[in-house]
Amino acid sequence: MKEYISEQLRSLILNILGDESSRVQRDHNDRALCLTSSSEEMSFCNYESFKAPLPDGIKGTIKASSRRVAYLFRQSTFQKLDEDIQEIRDNLSVALDALHLGERKKLHDYITEVKLLLEHIQAGHISSRVRDWLQAPDATINHNAACAKRHAGTGLWFINSHYFKNWAAQNNSFLWLNGFAGCGKSVLCSTVIQHTFRQRHNQADNQADVGIAFFYFAFSDESKQDESGMIWALLLQLAGQRQECQTDITHLHTLYTYGTPPVGVLLEQLRRTVQRFQHVYIFVDALDESPRYDKRDRVLETVRNMRGWHLPSLHLLVTSRDEFDIRRSLNPGPDEDVILKKDEIDRDIENFISSQLKTNQHLQKWQNFHDKIQQALSKRAQGM
């Protein structure tokens, strides 16, 4: 999305500059014509007013005085204009510094939150021997990439919706976010993950009672395309958050030291792990990036099994494109099916454009055209 907006921004600026250049030229011609006309009228008035011949001494005095008055008028006017312009520049500089400071603080706070979450889910207390045996895909890579694309305000429309609030508060809750390719599902998922982590842990008396785990399916990484990779990643993240879960994983390792547990065993281990917490929030992004005619059926079956546990502590949120096999398998209820609409996505895009126009140093020289730029880019976005 950023690349698209940048390309459109360059094109729009060139168009605006061309229009502005033409307008300036027209204004220049109009002013020249006006000055010529005014000069002629002034000459006529001067002629009519001074038809009677004057002595050379008086005429010279009048001309010199007129030049001095005109010069003083021009000098004082330009000096006042310079002072006004400088004052505007100073005020604008202060305002921009304040904006940049605010944006930098928001960015610093957000980066700190991401770091805290990653530290929270890391399995540092699990032995390297067990972690090597697990060979769980690293979902934090995808999470960091999605967070890097986020800007302040992204996804607030969803976080403030009744869908999300009900999902976060109700027991045994499920939610499916679905939309077309490129509409920002992964960025929205990362935003919801960070928000949930912040809210749940601010409210929990004992942070060990709240578990957070996530997984991002990816076309580009074969280890992130099947159900076993998803289960391993979720298990490892949750195990790092509670001592009893670490003990469970170590025990599983002793049972299958020289092999890999069957998927059924892994899924049962995940169920027991979820039961160790008062609340567990699991996020699975991009179900559609599991190959449809190869691994996706088993992934969808695993998600159905997790929903079938009916555990009060489990809150499960998944995202994907709205594809027939996924919809048929998930079979969401009316309050579990969130279709990402163009208007809501465009709202995030408008916020992103506004943020870039305010904070990007390279765009400050086009400040007079910011409104036109935002309107044009927002109109062309079409949810992308």
pLDDT digits (tens, 9 = 90+) for 79-93: 655 665 566 556 655
Per-block mean pLDDT, blocks of 10 residues, the chain (384 long): 52 52 51 46 44 50 48 52 61 56 52 61 69 89 90 84 95 96 90 90 72 96 96 94 90 90 95 96 98 95 98 98 97 94 59 59 62 58 46
Q: Contact at 8 Å (CB) between 130 and 168? A: no
Return the number of other C-beta atoms located less than 10 Å from residue 173's C-beta: 18
Report yes or no: 305 and 340 within 8 Å, Cβ to Cβ. no
Could you tell me the pTM of the whole model?
Answer: 0.64
Give the start-to-end residue ranges of the domains of the chain: 109-340, 347-381
Q: What is the pLDDT of residue 133?
A: 87
pLDDT at 257: 87
HSE-CB at 280 with a 13 A cutoff on CA atoms is 28
- Phi and psi dihedrals of 45, rounded to 5? -60, -45
- Strands (DSSP E) found in the chain: 173-178, 210-216, 279-285, 314-320, 337-339
Q: Which residue has the tokens 């998927």?
A: 263
Spatial distance between the Cα atoms of 229 and 296, rounded to a whole number of angstroms = 12
pLDDT at position 296: 98
CATH classification number, 109-340, choose in 3.65.10.10, 3.40.50.1970, 3.40.50.300, 1.10.287.110 = 3.40.50.300
What is the spatial distance between Cα 205 and Cα 201, in angstroms, rounded to a whole number? 8
pLDDT in tens, 117-146: 566 555 456 778 888 888 899 999 999 999
In this structure, are residues 216 and 142 in contact, taking their beta carbons and an 8 Å threshold? yes
DSSP output for 55-116: -HHHHHHHHHHHHHHHHHHHHHHHHHHHHHHHHHHHHHHHHHHHHHHHHHHHHHHHHHHHHH
Question: Which residue, among 222, 235, 218, 243, has the nearest Cα to 306 in the 3D structure?
Answer: 235
